[in-house]
Amino acid sequence: MSLRIVVCVKYVPDATGDRHFADDLTLDRDDVDGLLSELDEYAVEQALQIADEADDAEITVLTVGPEDAKDALRKALSMGADKAVHVEDDDLHGTDVIGTSLVLAKAVEKTGYDLVICGMASTDGTMGVLPALLAERLGVPQVTLLSEVSVDGTTVKGRRDGDSASEQLEASLPAVVSVTDQSGEARYPSFKGIMAAKKKPVESLDLEDLEIEAEEVGLGGSWTAVDSAAERPARTAGTIVKDEGEGGKQLAEFLAGQKFI
């Protein structure tokens, strides 16, 4: 029986670009390039490795986002995913994490799955709660923040490295997994992979397909409200000295002046 893996990915603004809020206090996507969230590349990589070990597996990469988000899907397909699902709907603009988890849960169920793999967090919102929300909505085990993951038959195992301890976890499929940037370097798409990706199917779904009402999502359906966003004032220029042999002592003098010593 084929192992059905769904990888949830996010199209995010390039962190090295100049990120801004738009007038409605959502992300201004016009001013900055987007890309597949780096942390989701690790999820795609682990999906590919799990599929390699399985007798028969199919990897679907799933995203919720505007037209441009197809770029993130293409990247994942060029790495080796088999097909893609793109949930796109104007009414999704401004959806918060609770709403996003609803859309992803419905799309995952519609696609069919044994294993859902996510990155540990997005590189823009950085909340890190989506995988747990997805598991709660789907009613399946969460096996999250793994730095090592493997699937054996219908069992998923992994290692979760926390602040105070390292845990070995185990759950039965179906399950939701999230992986950290320690899970293994993500591969670069090959030229062959990039060419093959152009021919792979990308299915488009909208809210109606998922039987979700517009009021449940979007800025209006959001469960949180951003009242203000202020650009942090630029730091006032600090003192910079060149070490002429006394740099450490000068630094100590500064720290003493600030009462750190």
- Please report whether residue 181 would count as binding other proteins according to CB under 8 A: yes
Nearer to other proteins, 157 or 187 (CB): 157
By the rule CB under 8 A, 96 interacts with other proteins: yes
| Of positions 6, 104, 133, 207, contacts other proteins by CB under 8 A | 133
Counting every residue written for the chain, the total comes to 261
DSSP-based three-state secondary structure for 88: coil
Q: Does 216 bind other proteins (CB under 8 A)?
A: no
Among residues 145, 151, 186, 210, which is the contact residue for other proteins, using CB under 8 A?
145
CA distance 21 to 11: 16
For residue 108, report the phi and psi dihedrals to the nearest 5 degrees: -65, -45
Distances (CA, A) of 108 to 115, 162, 229: 10, 28, 33
Nearer to other proteins, 191 or 260 (CB): 260
- Which CB contacts under 8 angstroms, 24+ apart, belong to 90-93? 91/207, 91/214, 91/217, 91/218, 92/64, 92/65, 92/207, 92/217, 92/218, 93/26, 93/66, 93/218, 93/219
Question: Binding to other proteins by residue 241, rule CB under 8 A?
Answer: yes
Among 93, 137, 187, 200, binds other proteins (CB under 8 A): 137
Among 84, 101, 118, 217, binds other proteins (CB under 8 A): 101
Nearer to other proteins, 152 or 208 (CB): 152
Give residues 53-82 in contact with other proteins (rule: CB under 8 A).
none
Q: Does 97 bind other proteins (CB under 8 A)?
A: yes
Selected binder of other proteins within 51, 57, 76, 140 (CB under 8 A): 140
When asked if residue 224 is in the footprint of other proteins (CB under 8 A), the reply is yes
Residue 254 is a binding residue for other proteins (CB under 8 A): yes
Type of residue found at 16: T
Residue found by looking up tokens 């599929």 in the block: 51
Contact call for residue 139 and other proteins (CB under 8 A): yes
How far is Cα 148 from Cα 176, in angstroms, rounded to an integer?
14
Which residues ranging from 26 to 55 are in contact with other proteins (CB under 8 A)?
A: 38-39
Tell me, by CB under 8 A, how many residues bind other proteins: 84
Q: How crowded is residue 151: how many other Cβ atoms within 10 Å of its Cβ?
A: 23
Separation between Cα atoms, residue 89 and residue 26, nearest integer Å: 16
Is residue 187 within the footprint of other proteins (CB under 8 A)?
no
User: Should residue 93 be labelled a site residue for other proteins when binding is judged by CB under 8 A?
Assistant: no
Q: Which class for 30: exposed (0-12), middle (13-18), buried (19 or more C-beta within 10 A)? A: exposed
Does residue 23 touch other proteins according to CB under 8 A? no
Contact status, residue 63 vs residue 181, Cβ threshold 8 Å: no
Binder among 58, 71, 88, 124 for other proteins (CB under 8 A):
124
The one among 163, 191, 199, 211 contacting other proteins by CB under 8 A:
163
Least CB distance from residue 247 to other proteins, whole Å? 4
